[in-house]
Every structure is written in structure tokens, then in C-alpha cells.
Structure 1
Amino acid sequence: MVRGHLARLGSEPGSRAELREDLAELRGHIASLLPSARQRANRVGHGSPEWYSLTTRLDRIEEQAERKTLGEGTLGAHVQVRRLALDCAWLLRYSSTEAAR
């Protein structure tokens, strides 16, 4: 699903309506992945450089996912959705490395 978004988003910008739909789907995926990612980050030494790096990234992902408006113009919207898709892909990889341990 996320890989499909990334492949499609890499080709050409969709309409704002399509991007709005993609944004809603990505927000849902991110909302479901963030709690376990935060739990995993909290198992890292609290206050360590790795913990700061992880929590900062997770905070930024959450902040971007919660933005209520779509970026300005088609290009701005495309960039916003693509960044969220990349963040979602990172969350999936982060989650799958935990599952593999």
C-alpha cells in the first residue's frame, strides 16, 4: 500500500482530490504505527543520543501528519503527501526490524 503510494507519487502529481485521499490514508497508517514506534523508542536508553534522534523524528512525523491543510498548489500538496509516504515507509521499516528481533 505505502510502496504503491510512493511509486505513484514518484511518477506525476495527482489531482488535489487524489492527494487529499492519499493524505487521509497515510495519516491513518501513521496513526496506527506511531504508538508501537514510540514504545520501541522508549526502550532505548532514555536521554541517549539514539533516543533523542528517534523521538525527534517521531515527533516531526506526528506533527506533519496532524497538519490540517494540504500544501499550497499541486506541487506543494504533492511534496507534502510524498514526505508523509516516505515517513510512513520509514515507520514500516522501523516496525519490521523490531518484529525481526
Structure 2
Amino acid sequence: MAINVLLAILATSLATYLSRFLGVITSKKVKENSKIFKWFNCLAYSTLSALLARIIIFPAGALAEVDYLIRFIVVFVCLIIFLISKKNFVYPTVLSALLLTLLSSNL
């Protein structure tokens, strides 16, 4: 059992660091204004949006017990805080955990 865990850690580490190494090697040739770079940027944002939508609409675990209205209120408030704080991720992240806890326990 221990050898399987060690092999899994080794394989995932190799895959992670190999892709990062290849990214560093090829990054000198990639221009930020190229169409392929913009396409990958759009792909990354769309994937993130889909994951966030799935977490909000079809949550799993403890978040599934929280009402839809509470989840949407937390997302809306945190989006406003994100825009007010000049696109700082720290404030809405901390506020989302606090707000979700307060609203779900009091409502």
C-alpha cells in the first residue's frame, strides 16, 4: 500500500513539474498578444467560470445544505467587494467565508 502511494506521488509530481519545466522553456517564444495566448486565456477563464457556476448551482458536501438565495447573496456581495477593492482577491475570499457562515447559521 505504501509503495502505491509513493508511486502516485511520484507520478503526479513528475507530471506537474514536467509541464511547468516545458512551460518555462517555451515561454520565451510565446507573445502575450498572440491569438493562441488569448485563446488559452479565454479557455482558462471559461473553465474557472464553469467551476464556480457548478459550485454555486450544484454544490456538494456542506455547501449543498445552504439555500440558493444565500449562495447568490454571498456571490453578489463578494463581487461588489472585489470591484470596490480594485480587484483584490483577499477581501472577498475572507468575506465570503464569514458571510456564508453568518447567513447560513442565522437564516
Q: TM-score by structure 1 length?
A: 0.30
Higher relative contact order (CA 8 A, sep 6+): 1
